[in-house]
Chain A
Amino acid sequence: MEHLELFFKSIFIDNMVFATFLGMCSYLAVSKKVSTAVGLGAAVIFVLAITVPLNWLLDQYILQPGALSWLGEDYASYDLSFLSFIMFIATIATMVQLVEIVVEKFSPSLYNSLGIFLPLIAVNCAILGGSLFMQSREIATLGLALNYGIGSGIGWFLAILAIAAIREKIRYSAVPPALRGLGITFIITGLMAIGFMSFGGMLTGGDEGAKKDKKSASIELQKEDINNEEAKDKTDLELAENINK
């Protein structure tokens, strides 16, 4: 249940493009044709699914305050979290290079469709953003981190696919000359983001919303208690009156 929730949340509610504007540069630059957009989107899913869990391990066992305690008691007080930017980006850059080499070796056809996008990805904010959000949202287990990586990758894929399809169609419309190209793409993305905001109502709990609900629920419970006591008092009074009669 927790997995399913995180999965849908990272696709729709916390969509990389529409909610946090990550990876906008390549989103705008590579969305002129659907076929290239699909290639880049697939590469993003792939790389996020590898780097987020990997950076989770790094964060958990090296970077967090006290994460080095597995080396012995002397290391328990170390806090290397200031190194996280450099470690994350180094991991991402090397992984992208590694993935490129492996894919080229074992699957030339996949390399032909994905290959040219892989170098672009090392500097895509969505990839680093995925790792940084994973760290700041304190995702609990390796499985959830993998889930988060894949989910946000799919969210990004959906976004670039949608905008590429719209941009292919909009070529036939009479857009004001000054808005053509970049301007209209920005405005369409804004409108799509408004659409995606409606998914915010999909939250099923386990989030800030749920915490608030709990608070208000406990307040209501207290109120009920008070009401019950009053009711008790009333019944007691009535009983006493009856007895008196």
Chain B
Amino acid sequence: MAKDSRLILDPLTDNNPITIQVLGICSALAITAELEASIVMSVSVLFVMGVGNVVISLMRNIIPSKIRIIAQLIVVATLVIIVDLVLKAFAYELSKTLSVFVGLIITNCIIMGRFEAFALGNGPWRSFLDGIGNALGYGIILIIVGFFRELLGSGTLLGIPVLGDPIEKTGLYALGYENNGFMLLSPMALIVVGIIIWVQRSRNKDLIED
């Protein structure tokens, strides 16, 4: 049981898929300019990884190893189509913002990486936990980056202004604070993730490379 809980907790910190395993970075960066988009993306990945890991784990003994990549891609693609159609039905505006990045969950390396490294060699329940754990580890970074980029870039969280009104000059803006529009541009996502890695590795010296 203790082992099972490690499956969920490890990816959140010391074995984080983004900052340590270097998996799934593409989608992590492009959509984090708003907190809402980051949360929706995390939930989508959570769904695809949880279900995908179980499916692959159930099929692990009947997939011939030569064509396993194609088989995995088909499973993921099916799940992603479900996510895409659900988003288009219930959150059309958001699915426009995410545009092709929903489709790119298919080639998100986290998913393929966990299939290869875990689901192909473990039972469905443990694979499910591993999938959930890694998706949460991925989501946590996405949400941290989305939080800072939206807060510093447009002074809002989930679209609600939290620092006062920039035009009426209330709240912080009365003190001369300005939004840093640069945070909304794509390069800042990379730099924010770089800083997260920096903080994480200075707190835990074991993770330092070379």
Contacts and interface: CB of A to CB of B under 8 A. Distances in A.
Interface of A: 18-25, 28-29, 82-86, 88-90, 93-94, 97, 119, 122-125, 127-129, 132-133, 136, 176-184, 186-187, 189-191, 193-194, 197
A182 B199 CA distance: 13
B74 A22 contact: no
A82 B81 contact: yes
B186 A186 contact: no
Contact of A183 (B30, B81, B197): B197
B80 interface: yes
A128 B190 contact: no
Nearest to A176: B198
B197 to A, nearest CB: 4
Contact of A186 (B69, B80, B193): B193
B112 to A, nearest CB: 5
A166 to B, nearest CB: 14
B182 to A, nearest CB: 9
Tell me the dominant secondary structure on chain A's binding face: helix
Given A125-B104, A180-B208, A186-B193, A197 B185 contact: yes
B15 to A, nearest CB: 14
Most interface-central of A88, A122, A136, A193 (chain B CB within 10 A): A193
B13 interface: no
A82 B30 contact: no
A21 B25 contact: yes
B60 interface: no
Contacts of B106: 85, 89, 128
14 contacts: A20-B186, A24-B26, A85-B77, A85-B81, A86-B74, A89-B73, A89-B106, A97-B70, A125-B108, A128-B106, A133-B100, A176-B198, A190-B191, A193-B187
B193 A21 contact: no
Contacts, number: 141
Contacts of B112: 123
B24 interface: yes
Interface string B176-209: 0000000001111111011101100110010011
Interface in B14-46: 19, 22-27, 29-30
Contacts of B187: 18, 190-191, 193-194, 197
A25 B208 contact: no
Contacts of A189: 190
B186 A187 contact: no
B210 interface: yes
Given A123-B69, A179-B194, A190-B190, A25 B22 contact: yes
B78 A86 contact: yes
Given A29-B22, A125-B26, A180 B210 contact: yes
A99 B106 CA distance: 21
Given A183-B198, A187-B190, 16 more contacts: A20-B186, A21-B25, A25-B23, A85-B84, A89-B73, A90-B74, A132-B104, A133-B100, A136-B100, A179-B198, A186-B197, A187-B191, A187-B194, A190-B188, A190-B189, A190-B190
Contacts of B69: 93, 119, 122-123
B109 interface: yes
